[in-house]
Amino acid sequence: MSSKKKIQHIKPPETNDRVDQLRYLAQIRGELEIEEEKPKLNMKRFLIISLCVLLVLSAGLVFCHLKIDDINLYNQALDAGEVTGDFDASVSYYMLGQVAAIALMVIYVIFMVVKIWHPKRRKPNRSFWGDLGIYLVMLLFAVAMAFPLVFSICSALKPLDELFRFPPKVFPQHVTMDNFSDLFVTMGQSWIPFSRYLTNTVFITFIGTFGHVVIASMAAFVLAKYDFPGGKFFFSVVVTALMFSGYVTGIPNYVIMSRLGMIDTYWAIILPAFAAPIGLFLMKQFMEGLPTALIEAAHIDGAGEFRIFWSIIMPNVKPAWLTIIIFSVQNLWNTNAATVIYSEEKKTLVYALQQIQAGGIARTGQAAAVTVIVMLVPITIFILSQSQILETMASSGLKD
């Protein structure tokens, strides 16, 4: 085929998509191979085949289900002595069949969805099978990641007899709030009222987060926007400090706290939280993205540094605030601080709840309820502020 003839085979792009246009140009210039037109998906045939596949799978599912019921009834009758014969242990094979049928159905439905909605050339360099594989892997991992959380919520909603049944089921058959009400009864009987623990945690979380946001933003502001001797060095130390966990510094911290007379006060938790390195780090990286002209203009208008910080910088870094609030709340809400707080009336909520969790098998239901209560707060806050957090994290990179 001559090149002229070849060019006639190239279709000009129908849409205004830039990629399509670039591809078209490249194909005309001969820099890019011409893709052969793929046969169009025959919708009717595809849907009929899909329906057949799904029907066969669901028939298998129903068959397995009926068979399991049969075998269970037979085994029960065997137990009751109504019939004689051998115990039928093949239930597990049919259950496996059930699971396999469900899995195949899910895979096929995803296949259908991707096949029908897979946009032709929406993005370059994406193959259909690659997309399908990635969606499947992600679905698998997402189920695995979510399973323990779902399981703890379900356990919290199960009555006692379902918690200890064999074989255990993931989803509760009779949903009850008994575990939560039991939890409040248990907490009500304790020496210190439940509300006291809650107040302690809320107080620590509130003060700690507020102070952290103000102090860290002040430091981040000068580190991001001014060049002064020692600033860069200080920041590099803070970056290294991102690696210190509370455990490594725990022991000397204890000594320092006791020298300062802060053991067994709230300050032992709050003051270190004020200086958490992650907050300063994220704030500084975010503030670097603000235009310096903003500050220069304010200078010319005669604003002082503090004025600039408070009425120009702070309103502009709201996403970063929210982010460091999340990190700080999450950190403080989850502290049990058993090492620095001894008085029972100053202990945190998480500490009290962990005592209940340690109560052993008899408190399994209550322990699950505790887990749900503790995890709901940070997750809810995260869901509500997700877009702002992602905006902040976009600037979180470590530059050389």
| Contact set for another protein, span 350-369 (CB under 8 A) | 350, 354, 357, 364, 367-368
Decide if residue 261 touches another protein (CB under 8 A): no
Q: Which one-letter amino acid corresponds to residue 181?
A: S
CA 46 to chain centre: 37
Which of 249, 296, 301, 307 is close enough to bind another protein by CB under 8 A?
A: 249
Binding residues for another protein restricted to 34-73, rule: CB under 8 A: none
Tokens for 181? Answer: 């009400």
Quick one: CA torsion of 193, 194, 199, 205, rounded to 10 degrees?
Answer: 140
Residue 141 CA to residue 212 CA, distance in Å, equals: 35
Tokens for 348? Answer: 């945190």
Please list, residue by residue across 238-266, b when 16 or more beta carbons sit within 10 angstroms of its beta carbon and e when fewer do. beeeeeeeeeeeeeebeeebeeeebbebb
Binding residues for another protein restricted to 100-159, rule: CB under 8 A: 123-127, 130-131, 134, 137-138, 141-142, 144-146, 148-149, 151-152, 155
Q: Name the minimum Å distance from CB 363 to another protein.
A: 12
Decide if residue 94 touches another protein (CB under 8 A): no
Binding residues for another protein restricted to 272-291, rule: CB under 8 A: 272, 274-275, 277-278, 280
Q: Which is nearer to another protein, 49 or 296 (CB)?
A: 296
Residue 382 CA to residue 389 CA, distance in Å, equals: 8
% helix, strand, coil for the chain, step of 5: 70, 0, 30
Decide if residue 180 touches another protein (CB under 8 A): no
Q: Which is nearer to another protein, 142 or 297 (CB)?
A: 142
Q: Which is nearer to another protein, 197 or 272 (CB)?
A: 272
Q: Which residues contact 345 (CB under 8 A, 6 or more apart)?
A: 192, 196
Which of 23, 67, 115, 196 is close enough to bind another protein by CB under 8 A?
A: 23
Which of 42, 58, 168, 184 is close enough to bind another protein by CB under 8 A?
A: 168
Decide if residue 243 touches another protein (CB under 8 A): yes
Binding residues for another protein restricted to 380-399, rule: CB under 8 A: 382-383, 386, 389-394, 396-399
Residue 363 carries which DSSP code? G
Q: Which is nearer to another protein, 141 or 184 (CB)?
A: 141
Which of 198, 254, 264, 355 is close enough to bind another protein by CB under 8 A?
A: 254
Residue 85 CA to residue 105 CA, distance in Å, equals: 36
Angle in degrees, CA 47, 50, 52, rounded to 5: 110
Please list, residue by residue across 66-95, b when 16 or more beta carbons sit within 10 angstroms of its beta carbon and e when fewer do. ebbeebeeeeeeeeeeeeeeeeeeeeeebe
Decide if residue 26 touches another protein (CB under 8 A): yes
Q: Which is nearer to another protein, 47 or 394 (CB)?
A: 394
Tokens for 305? Answer: 């540094």
Tell me, residue by residue from 199 to 238, as one string, x for binding to another protein by CB under 8 A and - for no binding.
----------------xx-xx-xxx--x-xxxx--x--xx
